[in-house]
Amino acid sequence: MTTTLDSRQMLAFATLARCGSFTQTAKELHLTQSAISHTIKALEQDVGVPLFERVGKRVFLTQAGEQLRPAAERILRDMHDARTALEEIGAWGRGRLRVGASVTTCQYLLPTVLREFRQSFPDCALRIEPGDGPRMVELLRNNQVDLALMLQPAREAGLEFRRLFADELRVLVSPMHAWARAGRVGAEALRAETLIVYNKGSYTDALLEEHLAAAGIELENTMELGSMEAIKELAKVGVGAGVLAPWIARRELGEGSLVSLALPGGKLRRTWGVAHLSGRRLSLAEETFAGLCEAVAQTLDAG
């Protein structure tokens, strides 16, 4: 059976080929001359041909040695490059970071986090994969992202979740809407209104359906959109009532173009955080990214 060449033998061989002296080779490798001699002898026995000719205190490569030398130097160079690349991954600012992020956080939270992260890790290769909660779980489990900025999933084994903040889903309507003038949303009125909701199949949609079912409310007319901005714009012109967290519509609420009202049936809370596979030790870049998310989340006033 063919065996692979020993890296220590390759190093001794390449150094001796360059130095032409057992004494100098031993000095460079911090070994005894006897150790170098035994290493070269073991290598020659392994390959089945002599690699050096000994003339006095000098040694010269045989034809077989000349043939082996370029390969040995290439092997050692590749090993050195591989080690360097691995060391750079653990060094400050090197490596890669793959982040999955919900559409909401991509638009309203991630830009500030990325700006701060780039200042600390300018050389880190960064990739963002947008998607909703179920997609984030899939990406994590398939090792396609390192971290996911998302809503807390329900009963997902094998994931660790670092809480960032909690918010509340509320009804957003035009200030001219009857609900805005009344200051409340009744269950019967909600059932009859066109409710503008985020993508079906998302965690937000599942939470909303569960909440309304618990309150005994079955919607008669819903409009599904994949854009938070579109939901706000339609609510502003009175096409229907949007269901969003107030921090996503901070500007509109501040200027008075939208009014925020509580959903019937009590508060509907969500928890946002950074998820990763259980048991993983986070790299410096990953820990920094998660910490920046926590810092930026504190400025949202999302509650």
pTM listed for this prediction: 0.67
Looking at residue 302, what is its pLDDT?
53
Contacts for 135 with CB less than 8 Å, ≥ 6 apart: 100
pLDDT at 84 over 80: no
Q: Are 289 and 117 in contact (CB under 8 A)?
A: yes
Q: Are 251 and 168 in contact (CB under 8 A)?
A: no
How many Å apart are CA 161 and CA 159, to the nearest integer?
6
pLDDT level of residue 1 (50, 70, 90 thresholds): very low
DSSP letter at 78 equals H
DSSP letter at 54 equals E
How many Å apart are CA 190 and CA 197, to the nearest integer?
13
pLDDT at 303 over 60: no
Q: Are 130 and 158 in contact (CB under 8 A)?
A: no
Which domains, from first to last, does the chain contain? 7-90 (1.10.10.10), 95-303 (3.40.190.290)
Looking at residue 43, what is its pLDDT?
92
